């Protein structure tokens, strides 16, 4: 706390893990007296660098780039790159710390990392995005590699940005390796990777619902965000027979009482991914829907809530409203979208609640599958990758149940995910000595 007092998001993420893991350490002699958690909260390396690039008017712009290499005990660092004006060391350290546990939960050999820049992609031309991504990679390339650190996308970094960064990495290294995941189909990408985080979140929620003899069929679902994770969570929920009522962006949310069906979702995907428009423009095409400027969707009555936008987007009061409105399941697509007060409300009401490090692990798991395919120089079919993703989400669910079962038979998925993730990394660190 003394060392990281100025980093509130990082402290929040560590506190949540510490509350469940410290009692576990106290009960297990092998972890006692080894300062294992103290070692885990200190990044192995934190790189910060200047990114200078030229905008369309010829002016030189300067941004700050980062890569946090948090923990490599069980494999090369792995985790996304975020381009958003709010990016700073605290946010990236919280994300990298979460990533260590998440990657461990997938059972694939991946350490944890995260990176990005305070660059704001909104309103930039394709050429500006390209120049920024190229400039960013001219420094990052010396710190990464397919056996060292394999970044992927996150907020503000999708297929377009991964393409530009991959191109520059390849040029600088003169090698074609799987150094980034989320690549395009024709140059090393995996089928299902774009869908994986959103689909995986719904698969995880399905597993939770099963424990209470419930499913997505005929359920009302509220989703926040309208980016990569939100879009595919919506697609899978619709496919499973649910009615998706909302989507949002940083401007506000849309509510479509008739349900956002597959056709309407296609419109949103085109609006967001190709036209780079705002969610409020949904009303131009579907005027029966409503738009709530500057608001979040948690007051809409629903059975299932899937927060898929950003950290701390669902607070204690909003959690109370969800519970009072009859919500039975909250499954996090984003990283740390629920505040500690919100999680407390969900636990108090004994509704199903999945923390992102378990429920959104499908994205990085499929990135791990992309790395395997790159190493094998093979491409698995859509069905094969989807089957593996389903299996991985089921296994993560089972691990959470194993470590998170309460005396009354209910499951604390937060405790379960934290301990299951911790054990594998801690065992590897102990085996490797004090390094």
- 153 sits near ligand NDP (criterion: CB under 6 A): yes
- Number of residues forming the site for ligand NDP (CB under 6 A): 23
Q: Segment contacting ligand NDP (CB under 6 A): 25-33, 47-55, 151-159, 369-377? A: 151-159
Interatomic CA distance for residues 9 and 18, integer angstroms = 14
Residue 242, both tokens: 């649910």
Q: Which is nearer to ligand NDP, 289 or 429 (CB)?
A: 289
Asked if 261 contacts 238 with a C-beta cutoff of 8 angstroms, the reply is: yes
275 classed as catalytic: no
416 touches ligand NDP (CB under 6 A)? no
User: Nearest approach, Cβ of 297 to ligand NDP (angstroms)?
Assistant: 11
- The answer for residues whose C-beta is within 8 angstroms of residue 207's C-beta and 6 or more apart is 393, 394, 397
| Nearest distance, CB of residue 206 and ligand NDP, angstroms | 18
Instruction: Select the residue interacting with ligand NDP from 7, 128, 149, 154 (CB under 6 A).
Output: 154
SS3 60: strand
Beta carbon nearer to ligand NDP, 72 or 226: 226
The beta strands (E) that lie in 2-135 are given as 45-54, 60-71, 77-83, 112-117
State the maximum Cα–Cα separation within the chain, in Å, rounded to a whole number. 65
Q: Does 260 bind ligand NDP (CB under 6 A)?
A: no
Return the residue of 129, 137, 155, 179 that touches ligand NDP, per CB under 6 A. Answer: 155
DSSP 8-state symbol, 405: B
Which stretch, 53-61, 214-222, 283-291, 328-336, contacts ligand NDP (CB under 6 A)?
328-336
Return the number of the residue (36 or 237) whose C-beta is nearest ligand NDP.
237
Tokens of 216: 């997505």
Could you say which residues in the range 201-240 bind ligand NDP, by CB under 6 A? 225-230
Question: Restricting to residues 350-369, which ones interact with ligand NDP according to CB under 6 A?
Answer: 360, 363
Q: SS3 for 157?
A: strand
Which member of 90, 335, 359, 374 binds ligand NDP (CB under 6 A)? Answer: 335
* Contacts (Cβ under 8 Å, ≥6 apart) of 150: 76, 77, 78, 110, 144, 178, 179, 180, 181, 367, 371
Closest residue to ligand NDP: CB criterion:
227
Select which of 78, 102, 114, 272 is catalytic. Answer: 114
Residue whose C-alpha is closest to residue 119's, from 130, 108, 110: 130
> CA-CA-CA-CA torsion for 170, 176, 177, 180, nearest 10 degrees?
40
Q: Which residues are catalytic?
A: 114
Q: Residues in the site for ligand NDP, rule: CB under 6 A?
A: 153-156, 197, 225-230, 249-251, 308-310, 313, 333-335, 360, 363
């Amino acid at each position: 706390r003394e060392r990281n007092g100025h980093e509130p998001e990082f402290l929040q993420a560590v506190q949540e893990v510490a509350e469940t893991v410290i009692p576990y350490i106290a009960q297990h002699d092998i972890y006692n007296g080894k300062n294992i958690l103290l070692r885990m909260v200190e990044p192995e390396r934190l790189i910060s660098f200047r990114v200078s690039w030229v905008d369309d008017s010829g002016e030189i712009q300067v941004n700050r780039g980062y890569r946090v290499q948090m923990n490599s005990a069980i494999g090369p660092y792995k985790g996304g790159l975020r381009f958003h004006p709010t990016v700073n060391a605290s946010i990236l350290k919280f994300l990298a710390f979460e990533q260590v546990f998440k990657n461990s939960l997938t059972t694939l050999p991946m350490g944890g990392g995260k990176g990005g820049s305070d660059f704001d992609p909104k309103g930039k031309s394709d050429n500006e995005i390209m120049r920024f991504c190229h400039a960013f990679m001219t420094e990052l390339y010396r710190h990464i590699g397919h056996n060292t650190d394999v970044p992927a996308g996150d907020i503000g970094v999708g297929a377009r940005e991964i393409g530009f960064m991959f191109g520059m990495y390849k040029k600088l290294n003169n090698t074609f390796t799987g150094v980034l995941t989320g690549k395009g189909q024709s140059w090393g990408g995996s089928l299902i990777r774009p869908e994986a985080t959103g689909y995986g979140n719904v698969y995880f929620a399905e597993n939770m619902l099963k424990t209470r003899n419930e499913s997505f069929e005929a359920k009302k679902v509220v989703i926040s965000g309208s980016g990569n994770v939100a879009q595919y969570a919506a697609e899978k929920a619709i496919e499973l027979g649910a009615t998706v009522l909302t989507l949002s962006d940083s401007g506000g949310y849309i509510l479509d009482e008739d349900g956002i069906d597959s056709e309407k979702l296609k419109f949103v995907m085109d609006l967001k991914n190709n036209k780079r428009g705002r969610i409020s423009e949904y009303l131009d095409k579907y005027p029966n829907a409503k738009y709530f400027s500057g608001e979040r969707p948690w007051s809409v009555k629903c059975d299932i809530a899937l927060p898929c936008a950003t950290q701390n987007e669902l607070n204690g009061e909003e959690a109370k409203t969800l519970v009072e409105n009859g919500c039975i399941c909250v499954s996090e697509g984003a990283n740390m979208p629920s505040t500690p007060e919100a999680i407390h409300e969900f636990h108090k009401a004994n509704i199903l609640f999945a923390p992102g490090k378990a429920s959104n692990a499908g994205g990085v798991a499929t990135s791990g599958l992309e790395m395997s395919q790159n190493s094998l120089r093979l491409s698995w079919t859509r069905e094969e990758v989807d089957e593996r993703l389903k299996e991985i989400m089921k296994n993560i669910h089972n691990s959470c149940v194993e470590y998170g079962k309460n005396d009354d038979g209910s499951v604390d998925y937060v405790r379960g995910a934290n301990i299951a993730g911790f054990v594998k990394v801690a065992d590897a660190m102990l085996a490797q000595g004090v390094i």
